[in-house]
Structure formats: C-alpha cells, structure tokens
C-alpha cells in the first residue's frame, strides 16, 4: 500500500478582502427590473467599501424554463452593465448565474467579472431535476478556479453544494474563497447552512453563500445568505433583502491551516490489486 500526499498550493489572496453577498428578491420574467435592482445594490456595497460582491442564482430572469428563448439576449446586456460597474467601482463581481446559450445548448452559468471583463465562467454541474433544470439546461463538467485581483476564487451553484467531491480539488488549486450563488428554499434551509459550513471547514477556506430572498411561485426563499471563515464561523448574515458584508482576513485562514493541517495530511491510498 502506498501513500501519496497532496500538495496544497498557496493562493494569491490579499491580506484582507471586504466581501459582500447581495440577497435580492427576483421578479420572474422581468430582467430589466432585476438588472436595475442588482446594479443599485452593487452601488450600495461599493459605497460600503466592498471589493468582492456575489449575486444569487438566476437573479436576472428566475428559472424561465417553459420558454427561455426570449430571455437569453438579456444575459449579454447584463454582462455589459456588470462589466461597466466592475470598472467604475473596481469590484470583482460573481454574477450569480444566468442563462447562457452556446451551440444550441443552454447552461446555468456563473460569470466572474473584473475591471478587465469576464475572467472566468462556471456552468452548473449538478442540475436539480425537481425544478425541471434537466429539461432545459446542459450540465457543466467541473468547478471553477479563477484568478482575480483579490485572489483565486472558486465557484459552484446551489445544488452543487451537496456534492463535496466537486469542491475538494479547489484548495489544492490555490482557491481560498468559494462563492455559492443559490436559490435554496425554506424547506431545506437547515441543509443550506450545514453544507456551507461543511465546505468551509473541510477545505479550510472562506465561503460566501448568496441565496435568493422572497417568494417564487410555490417556493419561499428565506435568504439566510452567509459569509463564513475557514473555521465555519459566521462573519455576516442577512435575514431579508439587502446586503451583508464582512472582511476576510488571510491570517485567519493560514493560522487555522497550520493548527489543523488536514489539507497537508490529505492523501489518496492505493491498494495493490490481488
């Protein structure tokens, strides 16, 4: 039996990052209204000194699954507006998720936007069939690790949170902040909080969970967006529509990783075939 030790790659996170989660009510089929609200809330977090902002899943249109085609052009319009906001406000924006069409396929896609434009995108890997996602969307293949001026970010979306194998490679790729846009209903909100904390603790990085707030058809979305440190401690939370901000300190992560070196000690065990 052999033991192979995984190498933990040191990321490039700044010593301090002021991060925000934007918890908003989403009006189905009203992308103009949703975009205006998102831009207003981005202005608010900028005034409060945020450098990183995360929007919820499908914030632009909601899940327009019966007839997505009329709403697809709005994604490009929204990206243009968010790029302008990122340049003007010197923000890194994780644009929740929006519908993306490519070669006839539609994806549930999150965009990472900086002053330089779109620097990365993530297509949701695990599609939630009870919501009908598999009837419209094509799944992605892997989690995202992308460099930004604030450090290397990871991105997954909502239901992906239930699959720890998706995020486990990220700390070994230098990710130190995981962003999780979501539409997580109140019936399972306890799972939302537990799983966000689990991903933070097991990977020893910061986690920003950004959930929808308000009513969407038969579903109630309670928000409860959280900003967590690598120990799973809540740095900020919000109970209603609005924003939550917290300062992420690199020192906290490094001290915890030194005290509990679980990433360093992680290994794969291969048993010889008989």
- Identify whether 16 is a catalytic site residue: no
Q: Are 230 and 223 in contact (CB under 8 A)?
A: no
DSSP 56-121: -TTTTT----SS-GGGHHHHHHHHHHHHHHHHHHT-EEE---EEEEETTEEEEEEEEEETTEEEEE
* All structural domains of the chain: 14-257 (3.60.110.10)
Active-site position among 100, 121, 158, 210: 158
What pLDDT is attached to residue 2? 44
- Identify whether 158 is a catalytic site residue: yes
The pTM for the full model equals 0.93
- Identify whether 121 is a catalytic site residue: no
Beta bridge partners of 237: 226
Active-site position among 37, 57, 100, 197: 57
pLDDT tens digit string along 169-196?
999 999 999 999 999 999 999 999 999 9
- The DSSP code for 30 is -
Active-site position among 37, 121, 124, 197: 124
Any residues with CB less than 8 A from the CB of 184 and at least 6 apart, and which? 158, 191, 192, 211, 212, 221
pLDDT at 5 over 70: no
Per-residue pLDDT averaged across 6-11, rounded? 69
pLDDT tens digit string along 124-173?
999 998 888 999 999 999 989 999 999 999 999 999 999 999 999 999 99
pLDDT at 20 over 80: yes
Q: Which two tokens stand for residue 20?
A: 């925000």
Compute the C-alpha angle 88/224/145, nearest 5°: 55
What pLDDT is attached to residue 136? 93
């Amino acid at each position: 039996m052999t033991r192979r030790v995984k190498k933990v790659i040191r990321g490039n996170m700044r010593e301090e990052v002021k991060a925000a989660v934007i918890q908003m009510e989403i009006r189905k089929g009203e992308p103009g209204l949703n975009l205006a609200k998102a831009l207003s809330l981005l202005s608010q977090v900028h005034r409060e000194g945020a450098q990183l902002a995360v929007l919820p899943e499908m914030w632009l249109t909601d899940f327009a699954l019966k007839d997505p085609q009329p709403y697809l052009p709005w994604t490009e319009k929204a990206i243009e507006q968010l790029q302008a906001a990122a340049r003007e406000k010197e923000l890194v924006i994780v644009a929740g998720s929006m519908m993306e069409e490519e070669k006839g396929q539609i994806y549930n896609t999150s965009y990472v936007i900086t002053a330089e434009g779109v620097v990365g995108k993530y297509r949701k890997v695990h599609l939630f069939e009870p919501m009908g996602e598999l009837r419209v969307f094509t799944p992605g293949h892997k989690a995202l690790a992308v460099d930004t001026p604030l450090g290397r970010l990871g991105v997954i979306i909502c239901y992906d949170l239930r699959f720890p194998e998706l995020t486990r490679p990220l700390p070994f790729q230098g990710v130190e902040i995981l962003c999780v846009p979501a539409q997580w209903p109140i019936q399972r909100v306890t799972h939302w909080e537990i799983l966000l904390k689990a991903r933070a603790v097991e990977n020893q990085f910061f986690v920003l969970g950004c959930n929808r707030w308000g009513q969407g058809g038969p579903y109630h979305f309670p928000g409860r967006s959280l900003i967590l440190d690598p120990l799973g401690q809540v740095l900020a939370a919000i109970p209603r529509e609005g924003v939550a901000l917290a300062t992420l300190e690199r020192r906290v992560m490094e001290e915890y990783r030194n005290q509990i070196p679980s990433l360093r000690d992680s290994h794969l065990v291969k048993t010889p075939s008989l």
